[in-house]
Amino acid sequence: MTESTTIRWEQDDTGVVTLVLDDPNQSANTMNQAFRDSLAVITDRLEAERDSIRGVILTSAKKTFFAGGDLRDLIRVTPETAQELFDGGLAVKRDLRRIETLGKPVVAAINGAALGGGFELALACHHRIALDTPGTRIGCPEVTLGLLPGGGGVVRTVRLLGIADALLKVLLQGTQYNARRARDNGLVHEVAESPEELIAKARAFIDAHPESRQPWDTPGYKIPGGTPAHPKFAANLPAFPANLRKQTNGAPYPAPRNILAAAVEGSQVDFETAQVIEARYFVELAAGQISKNMIQAFFFDLQAVNSGANRPKGVEPRQVRKVAVLGAGMMGAGIAYACARAGIDVVLKDVSAEAAAKGKGYSEKLCAKAVAKGRTTQEKADALLARITPTAETADLAGCDAVIEAVFEDTALKHKVFQEIESVVAPDALLCSNTSTLPITTLAEGVERQADFIGLHFFSPVDKMPLVEIIKGERTGEEALARAFDLVRQINKTPIVVNDSRGFFTSRVIGHFLNEGVAMVGEGVEPASVEQAAAQAGYPAKVLSLMDELTLTLPRKIRAETRRAVEEAGGTWTAHPAETVVDRMVDEFGRTGRSGGAGFYDYTEDGKRAGLWPGLREHFTKPGHDIPFRDMQERMLFAEALDTVRLLEEGVLTSVADANIGSVLGIGFPGWTGGVLQYINGYEGGLPGFVARARELAERYGDRFTPPALLVAKAEKGETFTDAR
């Protein structure tokens, strides 16, 4: 006989049954086979012993309530095994339906995170109470993994909140609410301050509602706000596709579309049919490639990267207490804020007290905004600001156990500022530079303790961008690498680790995206089509507009330096077709980008984009030179992916997860791909398909698309890009 291995049955003498979710083989409860079996056993028993039961409390013995679908199972679903997933899902739905129609009050006592499947379990309960702890997160984040809530989450949120709120507040954005916001938005009924109160409130509900049923099982029930058949609702429906377009930028994210369809179609039929509709749309997503890409990147790779797969083993973890930030410009100011927010004391140094104070002013602005929006309290904001000491005095850096330098991009200047401070800070302080282009090994030559010197490449704006690229110089020690890793985690960012090379990983690879977009303009392709191609490929910023943001002069400077380095090393420089376009834009037309008031776009007086510069069509566009839209998109995607493989070959990158995460979080490689190397893995026809297509692009557009040897070898051996862990 099957027994329940993951749900414990505890019954007291008043007839209240507490079902304790407690998978003995995992740190969190998931919707694996053991759970599905247990749920069936428990449901049978509830029905069999119904008459002796007064009510049911569902809670968990783990830190989280329930973690949702088992992603290790989901990533393996193929079109061949899809039917099995469909059947298994319907069985769970049937059991949950049996519990919610038991005729006895069932209460979810949500003692921690209830995301996805966890929230779906809670939705099948008549009453939901959430414990107000920092770990409590409630919602349906499936959309962020290319999926939809397939355990009744679409069917029930639509019936609970109405189609519009279910879609906008829960399903389409995947918002994760804390306990209070979950209550304010109608996802749970009550909040409890302590575990004792949680259970007491659950019991009180049972006492007060001996015959609970769901709103949707109550006679006369109607979906709040109406259904598409309702004239009032029909008037609002056209807003949804527009909302979807805005959310996905026209890129190939199938989940929002399936969610919308499941919600709307499911609202027009009875509960049971709606469950089947939801299951079909769910299985279609789970069997497709894009959910696999997104699960790989946003779950497995992210977990590997953040949990320290690349951190040197055996170095004791260390926390930074006081950090020196050198340079209070755009980056230094942002870094100071990020550190202070994480509770680290910051000494923010610039050339004058005024410049340093101005840098702190940036944190003051961010704090005021956060307070105004209710994201933090005045007290916390004041405490954060009190941790930042602006100064122009080197002596104030005494005792700092880490230094992050963010002065102008100039090797001699960086050497000078490190010389000034090295003897003042703690004798073993970690020495970091936020350079975006200068070789770390050369910068390290300016300090005494070269083993403690490392690159810490933040992205702008620092408060929003989650990634930090850690760059190991030739003489950087393992201890410094571990400490840099710990510091990045301490400020709640995601660290990827690369070896020193010009442009590191991120700056070098994003350059290929920009170059490809610009080159197409030079070939005579309509500039608006180039922008559209980037957007529809899923890039968060259109290629020419991004070029304007970064300025057209910066890539020229980097190109000149790189070219000099290549030629000094005895190599030959291969010009990229984008170069002549950039040169003409700057030299002939004086258009240097947004900060110069004119670039590929025109700008208004106050710096707003005012449309593509009409001169582009006049000077570059050749009617009839359009190329297939798919080629436009794939030239950008392939240019980045192929160079990433070269970086693996060169040993600059050493981890596939780092490449995937770094590309999506750092440089806007489209999320639906699961990152730059997962894009190759998931390409139609796998690696051989990707190689064949790269050769086709090389034939049409140039040698830079010729697949590197590593890629060809892997394709021939039937391998994919994965980390051996």
Contacts with ligand NAD, residue ranges (CB under 6 A)? 326-332, 349-351, 355, 406-409, 413, 417, 434-436, 457-458, 460
Residue 373 burial (CB count, 10 A): 8
Dihedral angle computed from the Cα positions of residues 258, 263, 267 and 272, in that order, rounded to the nearest 10 degrees? 70
Given the complex with ligand NAD, which of 172 and 432 has the nearer CB atom?
432
Q: Which residue has the tokens 């509900």?
A: 205
Task: Kindly state the tokens that stand for 114.
Answer: 């209830």
State the nearest-atom distance from the C-beta of 507 to ligand NAD, in Å.
8
Nearest to 320 by CA among 419, 426, 455, 444: 426
- DSSP secondary structure string, 338-368? HHHHTT-EEEEE-SSHHHHHHHHHHHHHHHH
Phi, psi (degrees; rounded to nearest 5) at 107: -120, 130
Q: How far apart are the first and last CA of the chain?
A: 38
Residue 151 contacts residue 92 (beta carbons within 8 Å): yes
State the nearest-atom distance from the C-beta of 222 to ligand NAD, in Å.
53
Peptide bond into 461 cis (omega under 30): yes
Given the complex with ligand NAD, which of 458 and 603 has the nearer CB atom?
458
State the nearest-atom distance from the C-beta of 410 to ligand NAD, in Å.
8
State the nearest-atom distance from the C-beta of 329 to ligand NAD, in Å.
2
In degrees, rounded to 5, the angle at the alpha carbon of residue 672 between the alpha carbons of residues 671 and 673 is 90
What is d(CA 663, CA 547) in angstroms, rounded to the nearest whole number? Answer: 17
State the nearest-atom distance from the C-beta of 492 to ligand NAD, in Å.
18
Q: What is the CA radius of gyration of the chain?
A: 28
Given the complex with ligand NAD, which of 129 and 356 has the nearer CB atom?
356
Burial class (CB in 10 A: 0-12, 13-18, 19+), 238: exposed
Given the complex with ligand NAD, which of 44 and 409 has the nearer CB atom?
409
State the nearest-atom distance from the C-beta of 333 to ligand NAD, in Å.
8
Given the complex with ligand NAD, which of 228 and 329 has the nearer CB atom?
329
Given the complex with ligand NAD, which of 141 and 439 has the nearer CB atom?
439
Given the complex with ligand NAD, which of 251 and 421 has the nearer CB atom?
421
Given the complex with ligand NAD, which of 429 and 616 has the nearer CB atom?
429
State the nearest-atom distance from the C-beta of 432 to ligand NAD, in Å.
11
Q: 486-522 b/e with 16+ CB inside 10 Å = b?
A: bbbbbbebbbbbbbbbebbbbbbbbbbbbbbbbbbbb
What is d(CA 108, CA 122) in angstroms, rounded to the nearest whole number? Answer: 5
Query: From the centroid of its chain, how far is CA 237?
Result: 29
Given the complex with ligand NAD, which of 82 and 541 has the nearer CB atom?
541
Given the complex with ligand NAD, which of 123 and 558 has the nearer CB atom?
558
Given the complex with ligand NAD, which of 11 and 394 has the nearer CB atom?
394
What is d(CA 345, CA 390) in angstroms, rounded to the nearest whole number? Answer: 11
What is d(CA 327, CA 436) in angstroms, rounded to the nearest whole number? Answer: 14
State the nearest-atom distance from the C-beta of 420 to ligand NAD, in Å.
8
State the nearest-atom distance from the C-beta of 407 to ligand NAD, in Å.
4
State the nearest-atom distance from the C-beta of 484 to ligand NAD, in Å.
15
Residue positions counted in the chain:
725
What is d(CA 224, CA 282) in angstroms, rounded to the nearest whole number? Answer: 24
Angle, helix 353-372 to helix 378-386, in steps of 10 degrees: 160
Given the complex with ligand NAD, which of 2 and 460 has the nearer CB atom?
460
State the nearest-atom distance from the C-beta of 396 to ligand NAD, in Å.
12
Angle, helix 271-287 to helix 82-100, in steps of 10 degrees: 150
DSSP conformation class of 9: E
Given the complex with ligand NAD, which of 51 and 408 has the nearer CB atom?
408
Given the complex with ligand NAD, which of 115 and 324 has the nearer CB atom?
324
Task: Kindly state the tokens that stand for 522.
Answer: 């030079």
State the nearest-atom distance from the C-beta of 404 to ligand NAD, in Å.
10
State the nearest-atom distance from the C-beta of 469 to ligand NAD, in Å.
9
Of all residues in the shown chain, the one whose CB is closest to ligand NAD is 329
- DSSP secondary structure string, 395-426? GGGTT-SEEEE-S-S-HHHHHHHHHHHHTTS-
**469 φ/ψ sector (left φ>0, alpha ψ -120 to 50, else beta):** beta
In degrees, rounded to 5, the angle at the alpha carbon of residue 460 between the alpha carbons of residues 458 and 462 is 65
State the nearest-atom distance from the C-beta of 16 to ligand NAD, in Å.
58
